Structure 1
């Protein structure tokens, strides 16, 4: 990419196109040459409906290869933007700026220049869309990623660019949020670390505890210093300072902060700079898939962090632990965005068909009175006595009954659920299984998101519409009746999956790839040309 990286040489060459254009216009008659240029543009653009529409609407006038200073600035801005693609985790080679430059150099007629004109628009469209909304199609990488990418009309890129400041247009393409900016900063930090050899030697121990000393403790000390969790020290003992550093490391990696470098902590400590860099690049691609406003107030559920948060103007105003879908093919929680519209206090659990026939029907075949807290209903909605049912006459395909659990303290949904109606039947809810929140890794559900602090979550939502949100909530709860409480203003809900994410203050957070989704995304990015780089500096 030498020819592209030299801005001075590039400007000289691109300026020379003006001279070429003028010379060609003077040879053989201006009108004939202009017609040749336009015909070439029309022919080349015919292969792409959006490009053809743009040039047709603009009378086949040049966007890139004309004589004006504006055309010259557009050309320079495109090559500069491609040269910076790697900063965003996009492979500059994918857009082959060298080939474009060679085609420009070889253009010895206005027909040839017309062909280059369309080639530049084609490259521009590919680059602009991928910079703004990502290279990959999420659902093709993993069917659990149900995200609707906010793709823009392709022709709008060309028409928008034509009216914009060229450099400003390219700068506005990637996500304009603090998370993306901080991820870029972390990417550069890791690339510089990679150039210096990373975090040093791995720690040669499965577990280390306070009070121990020796070579493995020294290796742990050095690695914590390189990672920024421990000030420079010559200690060879797992002392109080090292214990506190391990705790800070554990907090930044979603681990129980007990200060003991057990097997789980040691696995994270020994994770390489390369693997952390992959997580950051994947997170940046994921941010591009969500490149649209998330809402001044929104709910963010991070599956890898087992957490749910409410954010107001980019500040976390409420957070709680969460239990997410178990890492099994039919239980993993999907990723998508929707609008929370209401909550149900004292909910009835309508047992999903899949759970009814896979789990409860076999139990009832063995013992008709199994799971006695559940009730059965026929197709007319009438409750049916179990004594009237021959469970052995049914299988998963012909079982005709609906199973429900009425409101109670034992209800599988707990005492409140939060609804954002969606085709995946996913929602947030309370649970009677409180002990699961004490676990470090919390993937136990059938896909829905269980909250450790559901009442407090409800208070935070109701505070926008009730003068006494806690009192209102409990007045409804105490009735024991199933009650739907609408939210006067719907709240966007984003169920995301980030193994690397940032906070306003403190170190970048890293989490385990609980469903293996980020590993699949990285493999797809590699196939598309993404690679790790080391940056001196």
Structure 2
């Protein structure tokens, strides 16, 4: 075999038969230069609208990574990845694996091969982008999702797939956090359940409790059994087994675990499995948004719809508390982002945010100058102003010239300690004198900051990282009554997140309510991008 024929054999697409057909039309003596020129020109032209692609192929003298015989393993790994894209909640149709396969079978010239080479690379880049850092832009979904996503340079994707073992490389694109694999497994399991008919009939009527008997109890029993909370049973009575199953369900949903199937519990029990599937799909997307962010071996994890804050160390929670988060109003919802907690303030002064001053306190003071008298009025020079000297009726939200602040005290709106991770959103964690709110199932009452149910214990845990006597140190400062900033010698990452589906340490999935409607908006955006949702077959 001549050198020219051996070279062309190395550029085979799928099989020797396809190669032979593409070469048969051209005389061997003058085929080499025109064939290579056609392939190269096709690559250059097809890649000209993408700077990363154009640079990548130019730097490698237009050598292929997908369409030669030597690329068989890489090509197979790509198609396996594209075929599995839907399982990850990705828009598989956007990558058009079927169309690419058809194009491979239809290639009859080197120009077509060059065009196909670039088409495959573009599909790969779209997949790699989506799998590694998410399909949609967070802030396009909701203005409160201000998370900064790490987007890799497309050139690095191309260089990586061209140089690394293809199987390992494609597996490395997805988030490596164990929760990603757990959510993915739960998604596949739930899709299989949906294909088998879901969880059966919903439970009709109102409240059910221990001792009840009849068809509605049977419906509840069957629903709990289908959802995996109850073993086989023929009882028509709301017995101990059903009560225990209801309690476990309530616990998994963040409800008061009293074992009574009241209105809130039945609402959640009757949710369609597709609703839970949506939570899993958006959970996968949110984890892709966080891919590339170093969570920190020790970090603060605030899950907004779970109403909890945890300090996680090497994957284990060493502190946990209930929280109150922002109200479901456009300017009060707690945002999602990551930062670094580096200090706490003991006996804090509350510098009332401007929005609260003009939207809440100014109207109150216009009706009664003495309203909110525990909060001082401060002029531009930092002096306390007597309310009796102010005609509040002459001011509005634009021209009100005063600030307001509340001195440290047990009745201070921030309580006795706040935890800071300086950010442009003016969001932080803090104590509160309004303890009763922590008893509610849904705890969205703040102006956006996160109120902590066990603030002193949080302070002790943080100070314990730098002191042998954290409790004594804290109270020594607290007892002075003076505002004091304590810097953390070991600042730690803090992540404000929004997961309505999240695995426990054992991989069991717990669900929460979509309190701000962010998941609903995110899933709509994913559907618009081409993500499909399985439906009940019968």
TM-score by length of 2: 0.94
Tell whether the 8 Å contact from 2:14 to 2:67 is kept in structure 1 after alignment: no
Q: 1:59 and 2:61 equivalent?
A: yes
Q: Which moved more, 1:499-508 or 1:43-52?
A: 499-508
User: Cα deviation per residue 1:121-166 (whole Å; 9 max; x = unaligned)?
Assistant: 1111001110111111111111111111111111110011111111
Residue 454 of structure 1 is matched in structure 2 by: 455
- Alpha-carbon shift at residue 22 of structure 1 (Å): 7.3
Q: 1:269 and 2:266 equivalent?
A: no
Q: Pairwise mapping of residues 340-379 of structure 1 onto structure 2 (< 5 A)?
A: 340-379=341-380
Tell whether the 8 Å contact from 1:345 to 1:477 is kept in structure 2 after alignment: yes
Residue 244 of structure 1 is matched in structure 2 by: 244
Residue 6 of structure 2 is matched in structure 1 by: none
Residue 322 of structure 2 is matched in structure 1 by: 321
- Alpha-carbon shift at residue 277 of structure 1 (Å): 0.9
Question: Structure 1 residues 27, 207: CA separation in 2 closer, same or farther (over 3 Å shift)?
Answer: farther
Residue 208 of structure 1 is matched in structure 2 by: 208
Q: Which moved more, 1:380-389 or 1:173-182?
A: 380-389
Residue 5 of structure 1 is matched in structure 2 by: none
Cα distance in 1 for partners of 2:17, 2:173 equals 29
- Alpha-carbon shift at residue 35 of structure 1 (Å): 2.4
Q: 1:520 and 2:521 equivalent?
A: yes
Cα distance in 2 for partners of 1:91, 1:144 equals 24
- Alpha-carbon shift at residue 230 of structure 1 (Å): 1.4
Residue 162 of structure 1 is matched in structure 2 by: 162
Tell whether the 8 Å contact from 1:377 to 1:403 is kept in structure 2 after alignment: yes
Tell whether the 8 Å contact from 1:414 to 1:431 is kept in structure 2 after alignment: yes
User: Cα deviation per residue 1:7-55 (whole Å; 9 max; x = unaligned)?
Assistant: xxxx994676666687779473323322221121111111111111111
User: Cα deviation per residue 1:290-335 (whole Å; 9 max; x = unaligned)?
Assistant: 1123111111111111111111111111110000001111111111
Residue 427 of structure 1 is matched in structure 2 by: 428
Q: Pairwise mapping of residues 65-76 of structure 1 onto structure 2 (< 5 A)?
A: 65-68=67-70, 71-76=71-76
- Alpha-carbon shift at residue 388 of structure 1 (Å): 2.1
Tell whether the 8 Å contact from 1:191 to 1:535 is kept in structure 2 after alignment: no
Cα distance in 2 for partners of 1:86, 1:456 equals 44
Tell whether the 8 Å contact from 1:301 to 1:494 is kept in structure 2 after alignment: yes
Residue 234 of structure 2 is matched in structure 1 by: 234
> For 2:441, what is the secondary structure of its paired residue?
coil
> For 2:69, what is the secondary structure of its paired residue?
coil
Tell whether the 8 Å contact from 1:138 to 1:147 is kept in structure 2 after alignment: yes
Q: How many residues align?
A: 524
Tell whether the 8 Å contact from 1:21 to 1:66 is kept in structure 2 after alignment: no
Cα distance in 1 for partners of 2:27, 2:98 equals 27
Residue 8 of structure 1 is matched in structure 2 by: none
Question: Structure 1 residues 165, 100: CA separation in 2 closer, same or farther (over 3 Å shift)?
Answer: same
Tell whether the 8 Å contact from 2:230 to 2:241 is kept in structure 1 after alignment: yes
Cα distance in 1 for partners of 2:45, 2:271 equals 53
Cα distance in 1 for partners of 2:146, 2:29 equals 57
Residue 122 of structure 1 is matched in structure 2 by: 122
Cα distance in 1 for partners of 2:158, 2:324 equals 45
Please provide the CA RMSD for this pair: 1.8
Tell whether the 8 Å contact from 1:21 to 1:67 is kept in structure 2 after alignment: no
> For 2:486, what is the secondary structure of its paired residue?
strand
- Alpha-carbon shift at residue 112 of structure 1 (Å): 1.3
> For 1:531, what is the secondary structure of its paired residue?
coil
TM-score by length of 1: 0.94
Residue 46 of structure 2 is matched in structure 1 by: 44
Cα distance in 2 for partners of 1:119, 1:380 equals 65
Residue 7 of structure 1 is matched in structure 2 by: none
Tell whether the 8 Å contact from 1:324 to 1:333 is kept in structure 2 after alignment: yes
- Alpha-carbon shift at residue 93 of structure 1 (Å): 1.5
User: Cα deviation per residue 1:399-426 (whole Å; 9 max; x = unaligned)?
Assistant: 1111000100000000000111111111
Cα distance in 2 for partners of 1:19, 1:495 equals 59
Q: Pairwise mapping of residues 325-340 of structure 1 onto structure 2 (< 5 A)?
A: 325-340=326-341
User: Cα deviation per residue 1:499-525 (whole Å; 9 max; x = unaligned)?
Assistant: 111112263101111111111111111
Question: Structure 1 residues 268, 27: CA separation in 2 closer, same or farther (over 3 Å shift)?
Answer: farther
Tell whether the 8 Å contact from 1:14 to 1:76 is kept in structure 2 after alignment: no
Question: Structure 1 residues 15, 503: CA separation in 2 closer, same or farther (over 3 Å shift)?
Answer: farther
- Alpha-carbon shift at residue 64 of structure 1 (Å): 1.1
Q: Which moved more, 1:307-316 or 1:430-439?
A: 307-316
Residue 466 of structure 1 is matched in structure 2 by: 467
- Alpha-carbon shift at residue 469 of structure 1 (Å): 1.0
Q: Which moved more, 1:508-517 or 1:26-35?
A: 26-35
Cα distance in 1 for partners of 2:525, 2:534 equals 17
Tell whether the 8 Å contact from 1:418 to 1:427 is kept in structure 2 after alignment: yes
> For 1:403, what is the secondary structure of its paired residue?
strand
Q: 1:107 and 2:107 equivalent?
A: yes
User: Cα deviation per residue 1:203-256 (whole Å; 9 max; x = unaligned)?
Assistant: 112210110000000110111111111121111100112111111000000100
Q: Pairwise mapping of residues 148-187 of structure 1 onto structure 2 (< 5 A)?
A: 148-187=148-187
Residue 302 of structure 1 is matched in structure 2 by: 303
Cα distance in 2 for partners of 1:38, 1:25 equals 20
Question: Structure 1 residues 204, 259: CA separation in 2 closer, same or farther (over 3 Å shift)?
Answer: same
User: Cα deviation per residue 1:427-469 (whole Å; 9 max; x = unaligned)?
Assistant: 0000000000001110000000000000101111111111111
Cα distance in 2 for partners of 1:174, 1:535 equals 28
> For 1:172, what is the secondary structure of its paired residue?
helix
Cα distance in 2 for partners of 1:492, 1:99 equals 44
- Alpha-carbon shift at residue 91 of structure 1 (Å): 2.9
Residue 146 of structure 1 is matched in structure 2 by: 146
Cα distance in 2 for partners of 1:372, 1:199 equals 56
